[in-house]
């Protein structure tokens, strides 16, 4: 079995002495046996704090320790002269300290002290892998990198070599939790609980070697599907007993299971009234079954009415999560975490932040992101998401100097972009998104461009000038993608079903919602309190007023919040229509430049990498052309207003 080593292929270390015991210390010893050696005069030691006196820098390390401790995952790195010590309170911290050493050793010069602790306690990747391939979604829902690395033939794969390699990759970037299955398709996925516990236990053991807890997605219909019960009502004592027994069996097999992930409702039920208090009842029933084992329920807040009438402008999908969950704030048990998508729609290339991220006050919540590029090019188009995620994590939830999203959340969850493709992510450069997600979940203030340099230096054998050029090609690719796709916060101009490529009206008259309301006079969704759906009123002040006012609303979100005429002048000085034309031409030209610049350095990479990236960029150029021409033509035909620069728009 051969597969890409990603960013763990080329690093080297000198001899390392380990003063620690336990399972994770054994993992580090195994890691060292497969790490390439480099001759160096620095003497390196890894130790737990209980054995600090066995190292030459004990006093220096003790001086560096935070007064409130390192916690289970923190570590200290101290170098003085030719001595270097990595110290941690526990095995996880030591493992992360080892990978820190592996990442930076060749750049470690002179005396220094570093203290590292993760900003967010739970850093999770969720797999939408189907135990039984779905007839539409296949082996991995919204997966663009081949099949599942976990499941084949209706059961867990026998050979876990690749799973172990994956666990190693994740630990190296600080991921400490993985959801292994998809609860997004059908209740039969919950058969993992009853039919495959021995296999789940085998997989959990592999992830455990790298300090990673596994979680299972479950479906609320499971008691009906998998037993003789005629209900899944969480208030029915029979249902509670069924789940309690199922949870007991799971923890017998996997004593350190993190817990369950539940897709709360989503497309299945119309309107808040149909579910209401049921969210809290359902989550709490599962939470109480998990509580004796210290398990947690992650309750996904992706809810909305999927039977909308496009004629009815009073219905707004963006409002749904807030309308469902704010009335329930404070009613959830302590081991329930509400899992909130960063935006109120569905991972669009640009949308407003979910107001739940600022307004939930008495319930723990997790931020949900998407590493798999469902709406951002599907790992066919280059789209480095690090800058976007940093914007999300650093978003001021009050709008007036209050806490950021990263400061408020205790967990970050993202849908994985990994499959059984030999390079894991389909597009070789999409590995950068997996890397950046883990590093930003650990440190939300990290610079995304610096992370790109880190990733490129660890992934490719190349000189500094080549690395700088590759990073330059990739760094702004998310904004390039935004320019040639959906303008000013408009979403869902994608091909229905696949979500790849343009279809300007693809969802406009669907039951899933209406997203741009373009007519001959203007474009955009009126979500104001004064004249629209009232969505702006879900934000606190001063955010609510900022979004409500067409002149203070940020340009990039204008059409998300307002319906405006085509000649409305943006803060950047251009009209809305001219901005649409300009950005779509600019986005295509930027992809053209990316391809040209890549071809100038492509011969410096191995043939497999060169061919993979070249083919993807050539395909991206075709996609960008379709987006440019279809969107520009659509708005020209509606408005009748030509491009001020006289460029070609097909009529």
Q: What is the DSSP string of 238-266?
A: HHHHHHHHHHHHHHHH-TT--EEEEE-SB
**Candidates 116, 129, 346, 548; catalytic one:** 346
Q: How far from the centroid of its chain's Cα atoms is residue 391's Cα?
A: 13
> Is 267 a residue of the active site?
yes
Tell me whether residue 508 is one of the annotated catalytic residues: no
Peptide bond preceding 542: is omega within 30 degrees of 0, i.e. cis?
yes
Rounded to whole angstroms, the Cα distance separating 385 from 327 reads 33
Q: Name which of 118, 106, 125, 114 is nearest 169 in CA terms.
A: 125
Closest CA to 122 of 347, 334, 298: 298
- The reply to whether 351 belongs to the active site is no
Count CB-CB contacts under 10 A for residue 608. 12
For residues 45 and 102, give the distance between their C-alpha atoms in angstroms, rounded to a whole number.
13
Tokens of 152: 């084949």
Q: Cα–Cα–Cα angle for 51, 57, 63, nearest 5°?
A: 90
H or E element at residue 64:
helix 58-64
First to last CA, the chain: 52
Listing DSSP states for 450-493 in one string gives: HHHHHHHHHH----HHHHHHHHHHHHTHHHHHHHHSS-TT----
Do 152 and 188 meet the contact criterion of CB atoms below 8 Å apart? no
Contact, 129 vs 152, CB < 8 A? Answer: no
Full DSSP string of 81-120: TTEEEEEESSHHHHHHHHHHHHHHGGG--SSEEEEE--SS
Segment (H or E) for 370: strand 365-370
- Give the active site residue among 31, 189, 199, 374: 374
| CA separation for the pair 48, 445 (Å, rounded) | 27
Rounded Cα distance between 522 and 102, Å, is 55
Start-end of H helices in 254-404: 278-290, 320-325, 356-359, 386-393
Active-site residue, selected from the candidate residues 267, 333, 443, 476: 267
User: How crowded is residue 249: how many other Cβ atoms within 10 Å of its Cβ?
Assistant: 12
CA-derived radius of gyration, the chain: 25
> Which residue, chain included where needed, has tokens 């085998």?
202
Residues that are catalytic:
267, 346, 374
């Amino acid at each position: 079995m051969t597969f890409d080593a990603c960013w763990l292929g080329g690093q080297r270390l000198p001899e390392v002495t380990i003063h620690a015991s336990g399972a994770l210390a054994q993992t580090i010893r195994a890691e060292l046996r497969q790490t390439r050696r480099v001759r160096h005069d620095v003497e390196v030691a890894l130790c737990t704090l209980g054995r600090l006196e066995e190292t030459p820098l004990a006093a220096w390390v003790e001086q560096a320790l935070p007064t409130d401790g390192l916690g289970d995952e923190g570590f200290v790195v101290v170098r003085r002269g030719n001595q270097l010590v990595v110290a941690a309170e526990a095995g996880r911290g030591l493992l992360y300290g080892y990978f820190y050493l592996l990442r930076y050793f060749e750049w470690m010069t002179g005396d220094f002290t570093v203290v590292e602790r993760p900003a967010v306690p739970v850093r999770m990747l969720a797999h939408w892998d189907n135990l039984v391939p779905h007839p539409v979604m296949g082996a991995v829902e919204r997966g663009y990198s081949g099949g599942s690395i976990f499941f084949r033939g209706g059961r867990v794969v026998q050979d876990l070599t690749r799973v172990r390699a994956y666990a190693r990759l994740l630990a190296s970037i600080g991921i400490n939790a993985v959801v292994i299955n998809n609860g997004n398709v059908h209740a039969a996925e919950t058969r993992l609980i009853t039919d495959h516990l021995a296999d789940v236990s085998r997989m959990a053991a592999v992830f455990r070697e790298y300090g990673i807890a596994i979680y299972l997605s479950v479906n609320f219909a499971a008691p009906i599907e998998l037993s003789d019960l005629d209900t899944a009502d969480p208030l029915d004592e029979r249902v509670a007993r069924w789940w309690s027994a199922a949870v007991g069996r799971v923890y017998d097999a996997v004593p350190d299971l993190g817990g369950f992930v539940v897709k709360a409702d989503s497309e299945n039920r119309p309107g808040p009234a149909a579910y209401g208090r049921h969210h809290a009842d359902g989550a709490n029933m599962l939470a109480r079954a998990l509580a004796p084992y210290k398990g947690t329920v992650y309750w996904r807040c992706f809810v909305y009415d999927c039977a909308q009438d496009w004629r009815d402008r009073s219905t707004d999908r963006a409002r749904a999560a807030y309308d469902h969950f704010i009335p329930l704030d404070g009613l959830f048990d302590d081991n329930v975490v509400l899992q909130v998508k960063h935006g109120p729609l569905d991972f669009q290339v640009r949308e407003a932040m979910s107001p739940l991220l600022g307004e939930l006050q008495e319930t723990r919540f997790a931020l949900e992101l998407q590493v798999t590029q469902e709406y951002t090019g599907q790992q066919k188009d280059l789209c480095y998401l690090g800058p976007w995620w940093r914007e999300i994590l650093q978003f001021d939830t009050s709008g007036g100097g209050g806490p950021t999203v990263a400061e408020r959340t205790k967990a970050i969850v993202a849908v994985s972009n990994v499959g059984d493709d030999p390079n894991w992510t389909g597009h070789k450069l999409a590995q950068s998104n997996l890397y950046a997600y883990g590093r930003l979940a650990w440190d939300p203030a990290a610079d995304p461009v610096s992370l790109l340099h880190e990733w490129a230096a660890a992934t490719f054998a190349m000189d500094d000038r080549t690395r700088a050029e590759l990073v330059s090609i990739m760094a702004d690719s998310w904004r390039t993608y935004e320019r040639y796709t959906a303008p000013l916060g408009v979403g869902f101009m994608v091909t229905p079903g696949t979500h790849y490529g343009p279809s300007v009206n693809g969802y406009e008259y669907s039951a899933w919602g209406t997203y741009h309301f373009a007519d001959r006079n203007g474009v955009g969704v009126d979500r104001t309190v004064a004249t629209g759906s009232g969505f702006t009123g879900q934000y606190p002040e001063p955010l609510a007023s900022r979004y409500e006012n067409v002149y203070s609303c940020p340009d990039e979100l204008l059409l998300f919040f307002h319906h405006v005429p085509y000649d409305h002048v943006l803060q950047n000085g251009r009209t809305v229509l001219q901005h649409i034309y300009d950005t779509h031409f600019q986005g295509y030209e930027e992809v053209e430049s990316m391809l040209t610049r890549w071809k100038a350095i492509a011969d410096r990479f191995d043939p497999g990498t060169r061919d993979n990236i070249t083919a993807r960029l050539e395909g991206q150029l075709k996609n960008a052309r379709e987006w440019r021409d279809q969107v520009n033509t659509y708005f020209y035909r509606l408005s009748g207003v030509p491009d001020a620069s006289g460029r070609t728009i097909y009529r």
